[in-house]
Amino acid sequence: MEKVIIIRYAEIHLKGKNRGFFEHALATNLEKSLKGYRHELHRLSGRYLIEKFDETRAEEIAFRVSRVFGVRSYSVGYLTGSELDEMYAAVRLVAPETGSFKVETHRGYKQYPMTSMEISAAIGGRLLSERKALRVDVHTPENYVYIDVRERGNALVFGSFEDGEGGMPVGTSGKGLLMISGGIDSPVAGHMMAKRGLTVELLHFHSYPYTNEGAKEKVVQLARLLSPYTQVTELTTVKVTHIQEEIHRKCAAELNVTLLRRFMFRIAERIALRRGLSCLVTGESLAQVASQTMEGLTSSNAVVTLPVLRPLIGFDKEEIIERAKKIGTFETSILPYEDCCTVFLPEHPATRPKLDYIEREEGKLEIEALVDEALGSVERITL
């Protein structure tokens, strides 16, 4: 008998002939998440099994598994032989001492000499005779004991199903560049796209010395919090101070944010294309702030050819905050450091700017020279 962690797929079972590709991606991501832990990962029919690990670290390993996209559920249990005595020895370790219970048996190996109901009855009867404070309740039990009889004379015994993140394995849906700020929204957007299998690289714009090192470190910490979900190992930063100063000197104040965002999109697309990425990702939500009106979003899109994915576009702020709390980024996001979009923020920013007006004002700037200077400030930070 050996303690194991049983991992079940999410949507992978729907993938038909491409299923092997998705299974391989999931296994690769599981191995990355368990780097530094002694273990062996084996594939069974429709699931993976983690074996040969330090049992005192089972909780840590299970927690890491829980944050890998593609994992629908997992259980900490035991791998045993399929003889009744062997299965019962494991059942005694997962069964409750008191209260109501039910034994549920699944026979993956249909040639096993007992039916599922016969196995459940035999195991349940032994538990009742040994633990007098237990009672059977097949309708609404307080506890479950699960037995899964497998091929090759093995069985899996466990006491609960724990929820995984679900979704698709990261790396199965292409690659994109997330424009991550220090706010609440963009980390949530990155998490959501990674859940759909997108490999998400991270790009942050800063305005040093108007924004300080604390603001930058805040984003580094957000990137680290995202890393277990997204598998990302690096954060790219770009300085846009000179662009903001030029906009502030030469253009209408009400367009400060709109023009800056157009530059950000240009720079992000250049970086994405150099790295072979196929889309940009932002945390924008329709009508949440002045720059996120339809006119503002259209203005940003107008300067790039790559698709811009906005997974939060229809979310309200409370929904986004709840997701941020769930993935563990909220407390860091609300730390009181300014990001570059707050520098030179006009008192009355344009909410519905016309594209021809934007382009006229932007014509006062040396666009390519400013973009090239920004690209010269690229810094890559290992997480």
pLDDT in the model for residue 309: 98
Exposed/middle/buried for residue 18 (C-beta within 10 Å: 0-12, 13-18, 19+):
exposed
Closest CA to 186 of 294, 298, 289: 289
Q: Is the dihedral of CA 91, 95, 97, 102 positive or negative?
A: negative
Pairing of strands 143-149, 99-107: parallel
pLDDT in the model for residue 209: 86
Integer Cα distance of 48 and 66 in angstroms: 13
Cis? peptide before 209, omega within 30° of 0: yes
pLDDT in the model for residue 16: 67
175-382, which class in CATH? alpha beta
Which CATH fold would you assign to the domain 2-163?
VC0802-like (3.30.2130)
Q: Mean pLDDT for each 10-residue chunk of the chain (383 residues)?
A: 94 73 94 96 91 96 97 97 97 97 94 95 96 96 96 93 96 97 96 97 92 88 96 95 95 93 98 98 89 87 97 96 97 83 70 90 97 97 93
pLDDT in the model for residue 337: 75
What pTM does this model have? 0.90
The C-alpha angle with vertex 157 and arms to 156 and 158, in degrees rounded to 5, equals 125
Give me the residue spans of the domains in the chain. 2-163, 175-382
Pairing of strands 71-81, 154-158: antiparallel
* φ and ψ at residue 251, rounded to 5 degrees: -120, 165
pLDDT in the model for residue 39: 97
